[in-house]
Structures are given as structure tokens and as C-alpha cells.
Amino acid sequence: TGNTTLDVGFVNTASCQSAITYIDGDAGILRYRGYPIDQLAKNSSFLEVSYLLIYGELPTPSELEAFTSRIGRHTMLHEDLKDLLAAFPRDAHPMSVLSAAVSALGTFYPNSLSITDKDQVELSTTRLLAKLPTIAAYAHKKSQGQPTLYPDNRLDLVSNFLRMTFGVPAEDYEVDPVVSKALDQLFILHADHEQNCSTSTVRLVGSGHAHLFASISAGIHALSGPLHGGANSAVLEMLDKIDGSDDDVDTFMKKVKNKEDGVKLMGFGHRVYKNYDPRAAIVKETAHEVLQKMGVNDPQLEIAMRLEEIALKDDYFVERKLYPNVDFYTGLIYKAMGFPTEMFTVLFAIGRLPGWIAQWREMMEDPATKIGRPRQLYIGEPARDFVGIDKR
Ligand code: CMC
């Protein structure tokens, strides 16, 4: 059809121009607004990085203070939203709860659905950044059958989230600074990744002029799949199946290479990185550090390292340029922190939220934006005449 070209999975097609995130997949480079990811992970904080992604520059001290206190004022959930969360079944997957709750935010703030009113977009931005950790913690509490805790806004965003997740009423919860710092760093590493599946979803939904809550809710669903954000829990499920003896690691690797039942080495491979994922390098270091500091001796870390060692030397992986991605080691850290496997992708979503928001806002402000509407190459039947039911 005309000059339509086929590009399954958008391997070569740029869908937009963006000034937010730069990736060089061959060199293993990732930068947010020009700043290298390792410098941000080492020196910055998740809120500062959120500000950077959304507004384009690192905040001054007073800008960061204003941003932090604005978010601090919006961490509570409407009591009716809590009732809605309470109505979900106890074994509901927290990613479904998260997406449903974000979708429902649109019903609680009908005045904030404008895509052109800058103040309202600002308010929705603040509400999302403030409330997503609260919603996530409540989803976890629900699955545990435990009562929920109100946010304590004297704490920073990540510590507040940890307290709401692991604390119980009437007991003081001491946030472990090692855990809080490590989780903050992991959120930074996940904060944006240019036009990945979920971000493209957020943009595509928004390109039809759907509001921010609707677009982010769709992005959360896109993230949930095991080829995308769901890979972090899939890695742990994979490690659970391997008992650690060399035999089992080898049997598993054979299955992967023979593509038996579609088995993949989860946490390996990336569409853009054909060299070590720079986020994975940082996460691997953090995994060792955090597990050691927490006094956790997890045999699954050994298995993961063994899998990586084998894969990096094996022709199958070398030829296909498959390296560990950000998800390979994150699950082990989340597990050591006490999160159940189902919550891992929720943590990815909290981290990715500022990127989604920044990308949605950039698209809405770009006069060149058009509704996203890919074409196809039709391969069906040619024109034919209708046949009545009695003749079929
Ligand atoms: N294990 C075994 N084989 C693999 C893997 C893997 N993890 N990843 C890719 N391959 C093979 C694939 O079968 C194909 O082989 P062949 O050339 O013989 O057909 C070749 O490598 C190229 O892979 P592809 O599927 O064409 O690559 P893609 O760019 O379409 O997919 C991917 C990228 C990330 C979906 C894929 O590598 C994958 O499924 N990895 C496992 C899931 C995972 O870890 N996802 C997290 C991605 S990073 C976090 C995020 O941003 O979401």
C-alpha cells in the first residue's frame, strides 16, 4: 500500500523527537537530559531525577524543597479510593490493582482531566508522583491481609513508601537507611528509558488526547508483561526452578539454547543494548553491597552469577549480543528487602513514573505531535462476494 514500510516491533522507526533520554546501545550509554546514568545513580536522588526528567534541569535547593513539599501534601488517598482498593480480591495481582487505581484517580479529580490547562497538568503530575507509592503500599498490605498505614510526610518519599509497605500500626518502624538508599537508587535507574513499550503506550494513548491518568494507567498495564517490566519477577521465578547444582544450570541453559517451550534466560537481552546494559552494571554492584550489608546470604545470587558467567562465554548469547539487562539482579535485591515477587514490577512502575509523565508532557507541548496511527500491510483475502448462510 503506497510507500508503507513494514517494521514489526518498531525496530527502526522513530515515533517522535525527544530531548529527555539518550541511549547508545552499542556503547552501553544512558543519559537523562545529558547527565550520565552512573553519575545520577551515585550522586542524585529519585525526586531530584524526577524533577530533572519532567522540567529539563536539575533543581536548585529552593526548587527541590518546593517540589518535595508539594508532593508531600498529596500522598494521602481519598478514603473512597481506599474503599475501592479494599474491594479487590486478596490475591489480585498488585500490577492490576495499581493500574486500576490510577485509572480511578481520573474519577476522583474530574477537574484535572484537561490536557491543555497547565495548572491542572501540574496538579495531576504532583498527585501521581505522590500517590503511586501509597497505592503500591496499600496493594501490598491488601495481599497480606494487613491494615494500611497513612503516609508520614516527615519521611522522604522512599522511606515513607517503605514504612507504609512494611510497617504495622502502633509499632514504630525504623527505616533501614541502606535499604532506603538502595531503593532510591534503583528508582533512579528505572526512571526513564526513551521509547520503550510502556512509554510508547503512554504516548500513543495520550496522542489521542486522553488525560494523564488514563495514559499512565495504560502504561502500567504495558509494563506488566514478562518481556518488559514483568521480567524482574520472571527472573526470580526462573531462579526458583533451578536448584543451584551445575547439572540443573546446564540443563536449563540447554533448554534456553534449544528454545524448548519458548524458555528464555529472563533478565537477558535488550532491544537497544547490544553491549552490557549500563543499569545492570550498577545493579550488580548494588546487589552485592546491599545483600552483604543486610547480612543476607542468598544462594540464588550465586546461581544468577553462574548463569551470567556461562552466558557471557557461550556462543548462543555472544552471537546474539545478549547481556544481562537491568532486571537480572534487581529481583534479588527486592527479595532481600522483603518484597514478595508480585511486587517487583510495581517497584519498576514507581521508578518509571516520572519518565512516563515527562514523555507525555513533552509530547503534549510539541506542536508537531499528531495522533499515533501506524499503518499495516494487508495480507488477507482479496475482495469477494458475500455468501448467504444457507450456502456456506
Ligand atoms: N534468552 C534466550 N534467547 C534470547 C533472549 C533471552 N533472554 N533474548 C533474545 N533471545 C534470542 C531470540 O530468541 C532471538 O534468537 P534468533 O535470532 O535465533 O531468533 C535473538 O536472541 C534476538 O532476540 P529478539 O527476541 O529478536 O530481540 P528483541 O529485541 O525483539 O527482544 C527482549 C528484546 C528484551 C524482549 C528479549 O531479549 C527478551 O525476551 N528477553 C527476556 C525478557 C527480559 O529480560 N526483558 C526485560 C528487558 S529490560 C527491562 C525493560 O526495559 O523492560
Q: Is the pLDDT of residue 172 over 80?
A: yes
Q: Is the pLDDT of residue 244 over 80?
A: no
For residue 123, which amino acid is it? L
Which residue bears the cell 491518568? 213
**β-sheet with 29-32: strand ranges across:** 21-24, 29-32, 35-36
Nearest residue (by CA) to ligand 1, atom 52, is 228
CB contact at 8 A, 152 and 158: no
Please give the pLDDT value at position 44.
98
Query: Average pLDDT in the 169-190 region?
Result: 94
How confident is the prediction for the chain on average, in pLDDT? Answer: 95
Nearest residue (by CA) to ligand 1, atom 51, is 228
- Domains observed in the chain: 21-224+343-365 (1.10.580.10), 231-337 (1.10.230.10)
Nearest Cα to 92, choosing from 229, 185, 84, 327? Answer: 84
Ligand 1 contact via 264 beta carbon (within 6 Å): yes
Dig out the grid coordinates for 9 from the structure: 516491533
46-55 vs 61-72: helix crossing angle, rounded to 10: 100
Query: Average pLDDT in the 109-133 region?
Result: 95
Query: Average pLDDT in the 186-194 region?
Result: 98
Please give the pLDDT value at position 1.
57
Q: Counting atoms of ligand 1 from 1, which one is nearest the CA of 267? A: 44
Beta-ladder partners of 59: none
Query: Average pLDDT in the 38-54 region?
Result: 98
Ligand 1 contact via 190 beta carbon (within 6 Å): no
Which residue bears the cell 552501553? 28
Determine the Cα–Cα distance for residues 14 and 7; give it in Å rounded to an integer. 11
Mutate to test the pocket of ligand 1, among 325, 329, 348, 356 (most ligand atoms within 8 A of CB): 325
Confidence label for 2 from pLDDT (cuts 50, 70 and 90): confident
CB contact at 8 A, 133 and 161: yes
Ligand 1 contact via 229 beta carbon (within 6 Å): yes
Please give the pLDDT value at position 340.
96
Q: Is the pLDDT of residue 147 over 90?
A: yes
Q: Is the pLDDT of residue 170 over 90?
A: no
Ligand 1 contact via 327 beta carbon (within 6 Å): yes
Report the catalytic residues. Answer: 270, 327
Please give the pLDDT value at position 72.
96
Ligand 1 contact via 355 beta carbon (within 6 Å): no
Please give the pLDDT value at position 87.
94
Mutate to test the pocket of ligand 1, among 271, 275, 282 (most ligand atoms within 8 A of CB): 271
Burial class (CB within 10 angstroms; exposed 0-12, middle 13-18, buried 19+) of 267: buried
Q: Is the pLDDT of residue 136 over 80?
A: yes
Give me ligand 1 centre to Cα 237, in Å.
17
Q: Is the pLDDT of residue 335 over 60?
A: yes
pLDDT digits (tens, 9 = 90+) for 271-330: 999 988 999 999 999 988 888 988 888 889 889 989 999 999 999 999 999 999 999 999
Nearest Cα to 284, choosing from 185, 154, 157, 164? Answer: 185
Nearest Cα to 49, choosing from 75, 30, 25? Answer: 30
Give me ligand 1 centre to Cα 320, in Å.
9
Number of alpha carbons in the 13 Å side-chain half-sphere of residue 55: 17
Q: Is the pLDDT of residue 243 over 80?
A: no
Q: Which helix (H) or strand (E) holds 54?
A: helix 46-55
Ligand 1 contact via 228 beta carbon (within 6 Å): yes
Q: Which of 48-62, 124-138, 180-194, 285-299 is the least confident region?
A: 285-299
